[in-house]
A = this chain, B = another copy of it.
Amino acid sequence: MPNRLSPVKSSASQSAASGSVEEASMFLVNQLCFAIYSTSLAMTKLYRPLLSGLGVTYPQYVVLLALWEQDDVTVTALGEKVSLDSGTLTPLLKRLQTQGLIERQRSAIDERQVHIKLTRDGASMKKKADVIHDQIACATECSSAERKSLTRALQKLRASLLAH
């Protein structure tokens, strides 16, 4: 059911790039922000089939990466590391818990805090994830030096964006 749309004669061609185009930088595809946005989408799209074998999404994988690096952290500490707030993390962590990859334990010392710990399954998943890391690195068709350089440029950009 194509909801309430008055049919009309379709006029194919139309205007292009109206207004003062100082140069190509005004075009959508040449905007830095769109490049970041669309590359991020492409990246998660590539990860999806690889991670589905582990039963996790890319954001969940990022949380696991953080935990493999430092286990037994609070939700807030984890959120700072992966750059997500409780509104995103709480349901995400519940899903990881349901899958038996992590445990959530409220601290007895400060009962506001919830400590996140890897289970045996969650910890052992690291080995399989290392393979995926290599597959993605290969798909980038970048040398290690290129990846490192691009990563540093993005880190610098991100810091500038967060400062404003």
**Residues of chain A at the chain B interface (Cβ within 8 Å):** 2, 5-12, 14-19, 25-47, 58, 62, 65-66, 68-73, 81-83, 104-111, 113-115, 123, 126, 130, 133, 136-137, 139-142, 144, 146-148, 150-151, 153-155, 157-158, 160-164
Q: Which of B14, B19, B36 contacts A70 (CB 8 A)?
A: B14
A115: nearest chain-B partner, CB-CB? B10
Q: Which of B40, B104, B105, B110 contacts A37 (CB 8 A)?
A: B40
Min CB–CB distance A71 → chain B (angstroms): 5
In the bound complex, how far is the Cα of B68 from the Cα of A16, in angstroms?
8
Q: Which of B34, B69, B140 contacts A65 (CB 8 A)?
A: B34
Which residues of B lie under 8 Å from residue A155 when comparing CB positions? 29, 35, 39
